[in-house]
Amino acid sequence: MTDTHASPESGPPGGDPAAKAGPAPPPPPAPAPAPPARSAVRSLLRLWPYVRPVRARWGSAAVVAIVASSLGLVFPLVLKWMVDGPIADRDPAGVWLGAAALLGLGIVEAVLFGFRRWLVARPLAGVEAALRADLYRHVQRLPVAFHDKWASGQLLSRGTTDLMLIRMFLAFPLTFLIVNGTTILVGFVILLMQDWSLGLVLTVPVIPLMVLCAVFETKYALVSRKAQDQVGDLTTVVEESVLGIRIIKGFGRHRTQAAAFRDLSQRLRGTELVKARLLAGILGLITVIPELAIGAALVLGTVQVADGQLSAGTLVAFLSTALALHWPVVSMGFLLAMSQEAATAADRYFEVMDAPEEGDWAGERGSAGKEGSARAEGTRPRSPAPPPDSASPTAKVPAHGGQPASGGLRFEGVEFRYPDAPAGSVPLLRCVDLHVRPGETLALVGATGSGKTTLTALVPRLHEVTGGRITLDGRDVTAMSRAELRELVSVAFEEPTLFSATVGENVLMGAGEGAPDDGELSRALGIAQADFVHRLPDGAHTQVGEQGLSLSGGQRQRLALARAVAGRPRFLVLDDPLSALDVHTEALVEAALRRVLADTTALVVAHRPSTVMLADRVALLSGGRIAAVGTHQQLLRDNAEYAWLMSGAGADPAAARAAGTAASADGNVRQGVDA
């Protein structure tokens, strides 16, 4: 997959078009509206719906942690009692009592922190699982145009590294931001109560520390986002290298790929070093400034003890309290850094979740129970009934099927341009009018890049038409839910994709979600002439491996074809399904396909005469339009462009296209478009 906006920091693809030169200089363009200021708190609050179900346990864990941390502030009070009491009075029993109290407080503190960990471990693992499940579900429902733009590595990093950062934030930094903040507040109250003058000395650094933390957050957020985007880019390179290992080895490009990986790694290393420098700087300042304040308080307190204005026990308790607050203050740097990384991870997560799904998934959720009942019974949903007007006595019924002539697959004034195409550009497809009669097989022929694959992708709504409409038996495909539409239409693509599953599971993906029997699997494999399956180590239960790369190209294509016909679909869309087969296997597959196509309305993209011969009629796609429709022999005789495409001769294709356009203009062949 290509990635035109995988790193959102670089902005969206393209840009504002430059103003065209004219007789007078154009006015300066209006400044683009500034994006809303990023707020880490706002980003993290979007996680609340996932945290809400476990809020009771998480809140209990936070309370337990606050109590445990507050116990640390009791230690100085015990020390004060010991210094001013048993130690001053030389009372060994009192000293042992104080030591036992300190030991007991330590044990209780350790138990409470362990209990806090137990409270949050299971629920927060569930939160991460829910986030990951929602992301995966949403990605499945995003349009193909989204996946065309986003690198798979960026999606993988969002579903793994980013969600791990979010879980870690909920388990530790979020809790201890609250715990440490409460501890610092209570600690300063205790310091002021012990001696207000010394307490004021320690509160002086608060304002500069707050300013430093705000500056640190802003800078660290930018660097953190850059690092996480670079992790996604690195993941993409690794994934592409693994999937394309045969190409890399075949062309000896391992050094080039290693160099590209090394460059990305060095770039990520540099970004991580910037993060480390920022974190080291804030930690250094957070450590030094309070230490200076404690030093000043120690000098002032010593003077007061010498003057008799302060007891030694109070000074010990004050300094112990200040030292007890040292770690909560210093750790704020770590916690802020982890919070910024979690906020960036949340931003990246919701960038994907905010992408609009294909239009009618919400409606399909409402009918999930009905569809689930149909699947549980092992049946496919009923095909839609033909429109009422098609049932009239005068409706024409074709010889090869009981469907009315107004049914079948129709393209009516279809227009399509890709969503990222420049405004005002010429559509890839325009004014496409085509009728595939019920039970008919129509071959779609055209030059490379003419839009054949795109046109076929519009039928199952992998892309949405930007003009006109497509109907199945008179019903607009946009009026159907995608679940219903994709039960009616089965597809086989030119590039077969198999999953890390058994052969049988890959093939039966096309048979719906019921429980098809082995007979359906055998039938589909027989049609695709995939008898090689029975020679695999475990037959149809053999694992094909990632992308099915353990099989040859022809074997993968036959399994993809078997998947397309496994569910006995009403409509079949095949994109050059025989391109990887040898001549003998192709002949066998064609013979079996003829029997299947006799009961199916099919649109077949064809590049070779042998595939064209499977069809009842042929449509020529040229210049974004249907230029001619007719039988193979008619088009060979009357259309020069079609004859050139089928012959493979070296004639000028532009001249052939011009000749074909002229030939179709006389109406000898064009009359078949809506026949």
Q: Does domain 38-353 have CATH number 1.20.1560.10?
A: yes
- CATH architecture for segment(s) 405-672: 3-Layer(aba) Sandwich (3.40)
The full 3-state SS of 33-53, as one line of letters, equals CCCCCCCHHHHHHCCHHHHHH
Q: Which of 489, 464, 524 is nearest to 381 (CA)?
A: 489
Q: Which of 317, 325, 314 is nearest to 291 (CA)?
A: 325
Please name the amino acid found at residue 197. S
Per-residue confidence (pLDDT) for residue 319, from 0 to 100 = 80
CA distance 287 to 289: 6
**Band of the pLDDT at 359, cuts 50, 70, 90?**
low
Is the predicted pLDDT of residue 493 greater than 70, yes or no? yes
The tens digit of pLDDT for each residue in 66-82 reads 888 777 777 777 777 77
Q: Kindly tell me the burial class for residue 176, based on how many C-beta atoms sit within 10 Å of its own C-beta (0-12, 13-18, 19 or more).
A: buried
Contact (Cβ atoms closer than 8 angstroms) between residue 408 and residue 437: yes
**Band of the pLDDT at 519, cuts 50, 70, 90?**
confident
Q: Kindly tell me the burial class for residue 566, based on how many C-beta atoms sit within 10 Å of its own C-beta (0-12, 13-18, 19 or more).
A: buried
Q: Which of 181-195, 538-552, 661-675 has the lowest mean pLDDT?
A: 661-675
The tens digit of pLDDT for each residue in 465-483 reads 888 999 998 889 988 888 8
Is the predicted pLDDT of residue 21 greater than 80, yes or no? no
CA distance 194 to 137: 57
Is the predicted pLDDT of residue 12 greater than 80, yes or no? no
Cβ neighbour number for residue 259 with a 10 Å cutoff: 11
Q: Kindly tell me the burial class for residue 412, based on how many C-beta atoms sit within 10 Å of its own C-beta (0-12, 13-18, 19 or more).
A: middle
Token pair listed for 466: 């930007």
Token pair listed for 371: 């569809």
The tens digit of pLDDT for each residue in 144-167 reads 888 888 888 888 888 888 898 898
**Could you write out the DSSP letters of every residue in 434-462?**
EEE-TT-EEEEEE-TTSSHHHHHHTTTTS
Identical fold at 38-353 and 405-672? no
Is the predicted pLDDT of residue 385 greater than 50, yes or no? no
CA distance 561 to 541: 18
pLDDT > 90 fraction of the chain, expressed in percent and rounded: 9
CA distance 68 to 112: 6
CA distance 284 to 293: 14
Per-residue confidence (pLDDT) for residue 134, from 0 to 100 = 92
**Band of the pLDDT at 353, cuts 50, 70, 90?**
very high
Q: Which of 275, 481, 223 is nearest to 374 (CA)?
A: 481
First to last CA, the chain: 40
The tens digit of pLDDT for each residue in 597-651 reads 777 888 988 888 878 888 889 999 998 899 999 999 999 888 899 888 888 654 4
CA distance 150 to 3: 5
CA distance 326 to 336: 16
Per-residue confidence (pLDDT) for residue 539, from 0 to 100 = 86
CA distance 474 to 451: 24
Q: Kindly tell me the burial class for residue 266, based on how many C-beta atoms sit within 10 Å of its own C-beta (0-12, 13-18, 19 or more).
A: exposed
The tens digit of pLDDT for each residue in 22-41 reads 344 444 444 434 444 567 78
Residue with tokens 């993209």: 605
Burial 511-531 (b: 16+ CB within 10 A, else e): bbbbebeeebbbbbbebbbbe
The rounded mean pLDDT for the chain is 76
Contact (Cβ atoms closer than 8 angstroms) between residue 472 and residue 384: yes
Per-residue confidence (pLDDT) for residue 535, from 0 to 100 = 86
CA distance 77 to 191: 11
| The Cα angle at residue 454 between residues 242 and 467, in degrees rounded to 5 | 140
**Band of the pLDDT at 512, cuts 50, 70, 90?**
low
Q: What residues have CB less than 8 Å from 479, skipping those under 6 apart? A: none
**Band of the pLDDT at 652, cuts 50, 70, 90?**
low
Rg (CA), the chain: 36
From edge to edge, which strands make up the β-sheet containing 489-492? Answer: 489-492, 571-575, 601-605, 441-446, 617-622, 625-630
In order of 49, 383, 510, the CA distances from 365 in angstroms are 19, 20, 21
Q: What residues have CB less than 8 Å from 30, skipping those under 6 apart? A: none
Helix (H) / strand (E) containing 663: helix 653-665
Per-residue confidence (pLDDT) for residue 513, from 0 to 100 = 62
Higher-confidence residue of 590 and 60: namely: 60
Contact (Cβ atoms closer than 8 angstroms) between residue 535 and residue 489: no
CA distance 665 to 675: 17
**Band of the pLDDT at 514, cuts 50, 70, 90?**
low
Please name the amino acid found at residue 631. T
Is the predicted pLDDT of residue 96 greater than 60, yes or no? yes
Per-residue confidence (pLDDT) for residue 270, from 0 to 100 = 92
Q: Which of 295-299, 493-497, 579-583 has the highest mean pLDDT?
A: 295-299
Q: Which of 92-101, 231-240, 359-368, 431-440 has the highest mean pLDDT?
A: 431-440
Higher-confidence residue of 88 and 572: namely: 572
Please name the amino acid found at residue 257. Q
The tens digit of pLDDT for each residue in 197-223 reads 887 888 888 788 888 888 888 888 889
From edge to edge, which strands make up the β-sheet containing 409-416? Answer: 429-436, 409-416, 467-472, 475-476
Domain spans in the chain, listed from the N-terminal domain onward? 38-353, 405-672
Please name the amino acid found at residue 515. A
**Band of the pLDDT at 405, cuts 50, 70, 90?**
very low
The tens digit of pLDDT for each residue in 267-324 reads 999 999 998 898 888 888 888 888 888 888 888 888 888 887 877 777 777 887 787 7
Partners of 411 in beta bridges: 434, 470
**Band of the pLDDT at 406, cuts 50, 70, 90?**
low
Per-residue confidence (pLDDT) for residue 448, from 0 to 100 = 84
